[in-house]
């Protein structure tokens, strides 16, 4: 795949609530730093008090001809990670080149390139760097995170990507911290409303996606910020865009006309028990295990393609890969989301 999208989740050890305002701000700061260094793009994120979610776009590593030369690599390290690391890298590369040791220079370059265009490398350095800062600030030692990290591969178009991004933005609503994600500043949507450039660019991309795949007639980046925010807010609150036309001035205010309450877990379970299905807007307001445990989420064709690619990880009796996400309404096969797992219990956490 030229580009891949991953929903990554990591939790604090013992799930302790140790991430306060300063810690959340610092984690976002490091996330943006290593996003730039790694050549990735954060589509959505949410930092909670004992865990975080990041939906990240990971482009394919360029071929040899597309990689920066020594000067370009040093410049990138300097701009993202500072003078100390850049000066050390520059000195080592110059030494190897002067000694005619091209293989050593290329090995060094490869170590740095191995940290880029890779979701595992991004998550590793993000968590390690934050842990170092956190332990130093709180005079503690030992691990901060309970495990490596969990990830779900998300189809990079239409309904699946929009649903996952909205699910992440709505975390504080599900946790009953707020009724509106714009009021929780450590999520992608609130970041965009507050004027964050990276977050606004990401919302512009999401707002330009066609729910049924591909892009809308207007290309990503061509929408005005106010229109992107309006469209994405409509999606978060399950309101058709045509029913929620607002002016730029209204969007700068409280935007209170677009509101949808969270749905109680008991109600969701009752709907599921009776064989009913929830609208996407209500579904995303529940804690749905598929979004963290589904391994792969997307349309049927995408999930089957991934099943074929990872066929050796499944038993011989498994004939196909796509399983519909239980409890989510869809008018036809093209509107439905699929994954690798068929959860028969605990769909809603």
**Strands 3-11 and 51-59: what pairing?**
antiparallel
User: What is the reported pLDDT for 293?
Assistant: 84
Q: How far apart are CA 181 and CA 233, in angstroms?
A: 10
Q: Count other Cβ atoms within 10 Å, centred on residue 65.
A: 5
Tokens of 319: 């004939």
Residue ranges of domains in the chain, CATH in brackets:
3-61+121-252 (3.30.70.1290), 64-113 (no CATH), 265-339 (no CATH)
Under DSSP, the state recorded for 286 is S
pLDDT tens string for the chain (349 positions)? 689 999 999 999 999 999 999 999 999 999 999 999 999 999 999 999 999 999 999 999 999 999 999 999 999 999 999 999 999 999 999 999 999 999 999 999 999 999 999 999 999 999 999 999 999 999 999 999 998 899 999 998 788 999 999 999 999 999 999 988 999 999 999 999 999 999 999 999 999 887 665 545 455 555 788 889 988 988 888 877 665 555 444 544 444 445 566 666 676 777 777 777 888 888 888 888 899 887 999 999 999 999 999 888 888 888 888 988 888 887 555 668 999 887 767 788 6
Under DSSP, the state recorded for 49 is S
User: What is the reported pLDDT for 225?
Assistant: 85
In degrees and rounded to multiples of 5, residue 113 shows phi and psi of -65, -30
DSSP-based three-state secondary structure for 186: coil
DSSP H helices in the chain:
21-38, 70-81, 83-98, 102-113, 119-138, 158-169, 171-174, 188-193, 197-207, 225-236, 248-252, 265-273, 280-283, 290-293, 300-309
Q: How far apart are CA 314 and CA 43, in angstroms?
A: 30
Tokens 């520059």 belong to residue: 90
């Amino acid at each position: 795949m030229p580009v891949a999208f991953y929903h990554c989740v990591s939790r604090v050890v013992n799930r302790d609530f140790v991430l306060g305002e300063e810690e959340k701000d610092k984690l976002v700061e490091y996330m943006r730093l290593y996003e730039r260094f790694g050549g990735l793009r954060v589509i959505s994120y949410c930092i909670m008090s004992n865990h975080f979610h990041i939906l990240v776009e990971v482009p394919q590593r360029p071929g040899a001809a597309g990689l920066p030369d020594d000067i370009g690599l040093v410049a990138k390290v300097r701009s993202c990670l500072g003078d100390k690391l850049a000066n050390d890298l520059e000195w080592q590369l110059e030494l190897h080149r002067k000694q005619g040791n091209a293989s050593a220079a290329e090995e060094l370059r490869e170590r740095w390139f191995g940290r880029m265009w890779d979701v595992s490398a991004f998550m590793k350095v993000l968590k390690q760097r934050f842990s170092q800062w956190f332990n130093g600030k709180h005079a503690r030692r030992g691990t901060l995170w309970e495990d490596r990290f969990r990830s779900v591969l998300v189809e990079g178009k239409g309904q699946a990507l929009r649903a996952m991004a909205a699910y992440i933005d709505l975390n504080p609503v599900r946790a009953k911290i707020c009724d509106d994600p714009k009021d929780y500043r450590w999520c992608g949507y609130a970041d965009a409303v507050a004027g964050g450039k990276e977050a606004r660019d990401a919302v512009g991309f999401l707002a330009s996606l066609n729910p049924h795949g591909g892009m809308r007639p207007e290309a990503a980046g061509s929408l005005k910020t106010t229109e992107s925010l309006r469209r994405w807010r409509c999606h978060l609150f399950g309101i058709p865009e045509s029913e929620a036309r607002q002016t730029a001035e209204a969007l700068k205010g409280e935007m209170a006309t677009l509101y949808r309450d969270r749905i109680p877990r008991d109600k969701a379970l009752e709907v599921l028990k009776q064989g009913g299905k929830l609208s996407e807007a209500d579904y995303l307001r529940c804690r749905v295990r598929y979004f963290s445990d589904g391994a792969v989420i997307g349309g049927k064709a995408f999930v089957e393609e991934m099943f074929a690619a990872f066929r050796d990880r499944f038993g011989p009796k498994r004939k196909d890969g796509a399983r519909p996400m239980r409890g989510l309404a869809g008018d036809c096969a093209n509107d439905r989301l699929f994954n690798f797992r068929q959860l028969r219990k605990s769909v809603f956490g």
